């Protein structure tokens, strides 16, 4: 072999190696992005429950304060009304199936001959597969069947019961199943965001009531003192002067108003807004509906990245996965804000 032939062979070999490394790196990012999306999605579901439970506590506290009930539970336990714990578990199972799929794709991308998932992942896949087969995701209607079929297909792939020679064929085969799961999650995000907003905004009326009563009580107490004082002295105080002075007593409720505003700021499980902000300039990151939009955008990015794996060239895959990473980062930011 001439030195020129060796040189050309080496160039092709290196080009082939760098291409494989680039794809492995891209698949690794695909895996990371999908996991981030799953984590952010579950955090959002839990925040829906928290908003629901906060609302229940404040409602019960207000009803106690106006003697509509003598019951008061200060432990803060609640029975969620929008998403109960079983529904949270079902959604966790759906997200687990998505992450199992991307983990499996990552094993396909490695150069190892052993492309099975680790033991824990295989056990999880087995449990999800059994859950889907026992209709743990739903019943006889077609949409529920779609989600069940999706989880069965994904977990069978994870358990090597469906084998694929390469990533392209795996991604192509799994694409419709992935879309089924993603579409059902997206629809729910918008609805739950509406529910969260409803729960969060309700506190305003009881707080308004409380500060109004605090102000009026302070003024009334002052007026009563004026009357008492007048009777003791045997003379009538100038009533308009007394009333004017007693209005100032309402200033005690200024601190109640500030406290009420702080409660409203703190009730959002996503994060606290500023004390005041110009109309139209509210931070969209704190609005549940925008959070749902961001989560849905990250779910779309996950679907697009998988579609690119199935159908696009390397450049298309890299672009789609980079978009997934960016959108998944938003989901991570939500999680970070919630954790504080």
Partner 1 sequence: MPTPSQKQNLLDAVSQIRAAEQLLLEASRSTSDPAKLIQLNTEYTHLDSFLSQILHAQALTDDADFGDATAALKSQISALNVEAESIKKIVDDVATAGKIVGFITKAIQVVGAI
Interface contacts to partner 1, rule CB under 8 A: 52, 55, 59, 62, 66, 81-84, 87, 90, 137-141, 143-144, 147, 187-188, 191-192, 194-195, 197-199, 201-202, 204-206, 208-209, 212-213, 215-216
Coil vs helix vs strand at 268: coil
Q: C-beta of 196: minimal distance to partner 1 in Å?
A: 10
Nearer to partner 1, 81 or 169 (CB): 81
Q: C-beta of 143: minimal distance to partner 1 in Å?
A: 6
In 3D space, the residue among 86, 91, 102 whose CA is nearest the CA of residue 178 turns out to be: 102
Nearer to partner 1, 183 or 227 (CB): 183
DSSP string across 230-286: HHHHTS---HHHHHHHHHHHGGGHHHHHHHHHHHHHHT-TT-PPPS---TT-S-GGG
Phi/psi-derived region of residue 192, left when phi > 0, alpha when psi is between -120 and 50, beta in every other case: alpha
Q: C-beta of 308: minimal distance to partner 1 in Å?
A: 28
Q: C-beta of 291: minimal distance to partner 1 in Å?
A: 16
The Cα 79–Cα 81 span in angstroms is 6
The answer to whether the beta carbons of residues 48 and 91 sit under 8 Å apart is no
Other residues' Cβ atoms within 10 Å of the Cβ of residue 50 = 19
Nearer to partner 1, 44 or 62 (CB): 62
Q: C-beta of 263: minimal distance to partner 1 in Å?
A: 15
Q: C-beta of 266: minimal distance to partner 1 in Å?
A: 18
With vertex at residue 51, the alpha carbon angle to CA 50 and CA 57, rounded to the nearest 5 degrees, is: 85
The answer to whether the beta carbons of residues 250 and 211 sit under 8 Å apart is no
With vertex at residue 106, the alpha carbon angle to CA 313 and CA 123, rounded to the nearest 5 degrees, is: 145
Nearer to partner 1, 53 or 309 (CB): 53
Q: C-beta of 76: minimal distance to partner 1 in Å?
A: 18
Nearer to partner 1, 218 or 328 (CB): 218
Nearer to partner 1, 17 or 212 (CB): 212
Nearer to partner 1, 60 or 286 (CB): 60
* Max Cα–Cα distance, the chain, nearest Å: 125
Nearer to partner 1, 143 or 282 (CB): 143
The Cα 82–Cα 44 span in angstroms is 13
Q: C-beta of 321: minimal distance to partner 1 in Å?
A: 31
The Cα 114–Cα 116 span in angstroms is 6
- Identify the residue whose tokens are 């509406």: 194
Q: Which residues contact 174 (CB under 8 A, 6 or more apart)?
A: 101, 153, 154, 157, 306
């Amino acid at each position: 072999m001439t030195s020129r032939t060796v040189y050309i062979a080496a160039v092709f070999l290196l080009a082939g190696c760098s291409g494989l490394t680039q794809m492995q790196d891209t698949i690794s990012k695909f895996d990371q992005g999908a996991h981030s999306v799953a984590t952010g999605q579950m955090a959002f579901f839990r925040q829906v429950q928290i908003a629901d439970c906060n609302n229940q506590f404040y409602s019960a506290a207000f009803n106690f304060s106006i003697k509509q009930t003598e019951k008061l539970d200060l432990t803060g336990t609640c029975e969620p009304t929008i998403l109960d714990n079983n529904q949270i578990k079902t959604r966790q199972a759906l997200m687990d199936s998505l992450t199992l799929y991307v983990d499996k794709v990552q094993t396909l991308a490695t150069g190892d001959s052993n492309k099975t998932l680790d033991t824990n992942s295989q056990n999880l896949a087995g449990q999800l597969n059994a859950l889907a087969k026992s209709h743990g995701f739903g019943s006889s209607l077609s949409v529920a069947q779609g989600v069940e079929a999706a989880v069965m297909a994904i977990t069978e792939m994870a358990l090597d019961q469906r084998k694929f020679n390469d990533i392209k064929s795996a991604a192509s085969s799994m694409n419709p199943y992935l879309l089924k799961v993603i579409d059902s999650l997206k629809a729910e995000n918008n609805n739950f965001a509406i529910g969260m907003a409803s729960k969060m905004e309700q506190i305003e009326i009881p707080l308004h009531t409380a500060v109004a009563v605090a102000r009026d009580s302070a003024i009334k107490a002052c007026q009563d003192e004026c009357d008492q004082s007048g009777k003791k002295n045997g003379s009538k105080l100038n009533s308009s002067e007394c009333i004017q002075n007693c209005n100032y007593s309402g200033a005690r409720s200024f601190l109640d108003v500030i406290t009420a505003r702080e409660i409203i700021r703190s009730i959002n499980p996503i994060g606290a807004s500023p004390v005041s902000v110009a109309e139209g300039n509210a931070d969209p990151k704190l609005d549940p509906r925008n959070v749902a939009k961001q989560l849905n955008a990250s779910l779309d990015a996950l679907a697009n990245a998988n579609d690119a794996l199935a159908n696009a060239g390397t450049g298309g895959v890299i672009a789609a996965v980079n978009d997934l990473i960016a959108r998944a980062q938003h989901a991570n930011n939500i999680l970070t804000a919630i954790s504080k």
